[in-house]
Chains A and B, each alone.
Chain A
Amino acid sequence: MVDTWQLVVFWALFAMMGVSALRVVTSSNVVHAALYLVVTLMGAAALYVLLLAEFVAWVQVLVYVGAIIVLMLFGLMLTRAPIGKGMFDNDQRLVAAVTAGALFGVTTWIIVDAFEGQKITLSKATGIRAESIGDVIFSSFVLPFEVISMLLLAALIGAVVIARRD
């Protein structure tokens, strides 16, 4: 029974994400596009929940939905960017479509090539718990973790330099 429900939810999410992802690129209103992006990202988070990766799911919500898109909207408002039909349209749709298609093809190929036939059995007990992520981050991945903090600090200083009023 559970499997059936999982499949139903998966396909529902698939439809939702597909439609909203299309609307992100076809919508002529930037704010609407951003909102559709939110729907897409939330769908991804829901997929993670479906895979019992709760930590990743909520980090996805917190970072992408709660921070990045909010900042995008905030930026749109603060800069009084022209919001309306046709403002952000250009004639590169075909190129964009081809690029996106190629990227999609390549990604699909990698995933199929790399993980074909592998099956991961999920259970609540073996689901990705926050502790196990912490263990990995602070043992084998401790260096990338520290380097990221340096990267973010450099970015922060850069943002201050650029934004400083003098």
Chain B
Amino acid sequence: MDFVAPKIALSGIAPEIALAATALLVLLADAFIGDRPRTLRPEHGSARPGSGILGNRWHLPLLSLIGFGAAVYLALDAWDRVDATGATTQFSGMIAVDGFSVFVKITLAVFGALTILLGHEYLVRRDLEEGEFFALVLFSVAGMMLMASSADLIVTFLALETFSIALYVLVGYQRSRLDGQEAAMKYFLLGAFSSTFFLLGIALVFGATGSTNLYGEGGITSFLATTPAADLSLLVLGAGLLIVGLGFKVAAVPFHMWTPDAYQGAPSPVTGFMAAGSKLAGFAALLRLLDVVLFPLRWDWRPLVIGIAVVTMIVGSILAVVQDDIKRMLAYSSIAHAGFVFTAVIATNDRGISGALFYLATYGLTIVGAFAIVAVLGGPEERRTRVNDFRGLFAAHPLLAGILTLLMLSLAGVPITSGFVAKLVVFGAAVEAGYTWVVVVGAIASAIAAFFYLRILVVMYMVDAEVAEEPKAVMGPLSIGVIGLSAAATLVLGLFWSPLIELAEKATFFAGP
């Protein structure tokens, strides 16, 4: 027995551990704290506003929120450490502890907490089981966090699968909805398909470099430093497949086919979570892989990524215009936004990375709020999500209409909203790197995109005598809180953006070999 137990430092994955532990606690509490009383009758809409939403079922969401709080605390703790001692790797080089991962983790924890708040109200109103929902959200956030800090392709793949599997199930969580089941099935099949691309990519990279490790001794970084550029074709092919696999997760064209169906069929809180979290996690892995590890190969992968970026922006924007369903429309808009983030990826400079982080953080906060509004207006089975169902919203709920206006303007990239600042940052990075023409394409796409955001606004403010059914918002304190928070973040970050950008810039440092 000459087994030498490895020295294990846990600070790098402490947030993930906290979330996984919380998920287990949630499941245990769910199993052992008796029969769950139904505080509300299943009939949607008959709920007394503000009453009983927390009811007797407060312990599970509270537990989950504590978990997210702990994750944020531990991530901040790790930040202090890397600030003091510099970025390192842990777990035999499997985990990178650096500012980048910490920033992503904190952002993800915020998205997760917002999802818990929305999900709780959503589930209680529809009389659905909660324990598994929270556990799956916690697990998927843990997986996404691991994506951000993984320094080994094996860990990246496992993290990808962890959050994907949790999301497949969350998409089909409301099983009484047929379109939800269809969405989950499509998402699952295409997601599994994309995972095989990713796996094959890992195999190719391993074949080329003899390692799956990014930074360690004999890892990919040191391989690139020592090998002449001539025999790298296998590695480039592998990197291409990795981009394909991650492209599915961030919903980039041409790997976007699942997005509209999955976004439409999923419960709206889950859709918001997917749009915010899944995208952030996917881009975190992409940024680390392309802009840091494969930086020496940038002339090889850049044409592919530029192609993806351009096609994604254009196709996403154009297809969004012709949508009738607001969830599908937001899905295509999220595709277009993935394209905008890609312009930051091709910049391959520090400004691009921090810009992408800022973009994804602000976009996530906005889109969670947008889907929260869809959730409160959609009705029990979310059937009222067509654009025309929003007719007369201003008359019925002026404040809600105002907030939706703000969020839509932010998505369109209109000044004084966070979306404007974010676009400015990523486009600026691309211009700095010399890709002005990509930015021009992006600007055109933004212009196209503005059309459909404005379409919703027009419909909302129209007072139409022929409205068959007035939009009716069913919301409790939690939804109101999340929507308000999202609106506030959109506005405040649109006016006072510099603290967050500075933070993102400060976070742009990576573990090295």
- Interface of A toward B, CB cutoff 8 Å: 103, 106-107, 109-111, 113-114, 131, 134-135, 138-144, 147-148, 150-151, 153-155, 157-158, 160-162, 164, 166
> Among B161, B166, B204, which residue has its beta carbon within 8 angstroms of that of A110?
B204
- A162 neighbours in B (Cβ, 8 Å): 169, 172, 175
How far, in Å, is A82 (CB) from chain B's closest CB?
Answer: 19
- Give the one of A114, A141, A154, A164 with max B CB within 10 A: A154
Tell me, in angstroms, the Cα distance from A103 to B196 when the chains sit together: 12
Chain A residue nearest in CB terms to B166? A154
Q: Is the CB of A143 within 8 A of B91?
A: yes
B430 shortest CB reach to chain A, Å: 33
29 residue pairs from A and B, CB less than 8 Å apart: A103-B200, A106-B200, A110-B203, A110-B204, A113-B208, A114-B210, A131-B1, A134-B3, A139-B5, A140-B92, A141-B92, A141-B154, A144-B94, A144-B155, A144-B158, A147-B155, A147-B158, A147-B159, A147-B162, A148-B158, A151-B161, A154-B139, A154-B143, A155-B165, A157-B132, A158-B169, A160-B132, A161-B136, A161-B169
Please give, as numbers and ranges, the residues of chain B lying within 8 Å of A160 by CB-CB distance. Answer: 132
Q: Are A142 and B8 in contact (CB under 8 A)?
A: yes
Given known contacts A143-B91, A154-B139, A160-B132, A110 and B207 CB-to-CB distance under 8 angstroms:
yes
Q: Which 8 A-B pairs have the closest CB atoms?
A: A158-B169, A110-B207, A114-B207, A140-B92, A143-B91, A154-B139, A147-B158, A143-B94
- Tally the A-B contacts, defined by beta carbons under 8 Å: 101
Asked if B60 lies at the interface with its beta carbon under 8 angstroms from chain A, I say no
CA distance A153 to B154 in the complex (A): 18
B281 CB to nearest A CB, Å: 14
* Among A110, A114, A143, contact of B95 (Cβ-Cβ < 8 Å): A143
Chain B neighbourhood of A143, CB < 8 A: 13, 91-92, 94-95, 155
**How far, in Å, is A68 (CB) from chain B's closest CB?**
15
Tell whether, in the assembled complex, residue A153 and residue B139 are in contact, meaning their CB atoms are under 8 Å apart: yes
Asked whether A157 and B92 contact (CB < 8 A) given A144-B155, A162-B169, the answer is no
How distant is the Cα of A81 from the Cα of B444 in the complex, in angstroms?
A: 51
Question: Secondary structure of the A side of the interface?
Answer: helix
Interface of B is mostly: helix
CA distance A148 to B237 in the complex (A): 27
Which residue in B91, B92, B142 is a CB contact (below 8 Å) of A150? B142
Q: A157 to B20, Cβ gap below 8 A? A: no
| B-side contacts of A157, CB under 8 Å | 27, 132, 135-136, 139, 169
Give bound CA distance, A106 to B200, whole Å: 10
> Does B173 lie at the interface of the complex (its beta carbon under 8 Å from any beta carbon of A)?
yes
Contact A161 B210 (CB under 8 A): no
Closest B residue to A110 by beta carbon equals B207
Q: Which of A113, A140, A151, A161 contacts B6 (CB 8 A)?
A: A140
Least CB separation from B168: chain A residue? A158
B139 touches A144 (CB 8 A): no
Indicate if B385 sits at the interface (CB-CB under 8 A): no
B485 within 8 A of A: no
A110 contacts B169, CB within 8 Å?
no
Q: Which residue of A lies closest to B205 (CB)?
A: A110
Chain A CB within 10 Å, residue with most, of B1, B155, B173, B207: B207
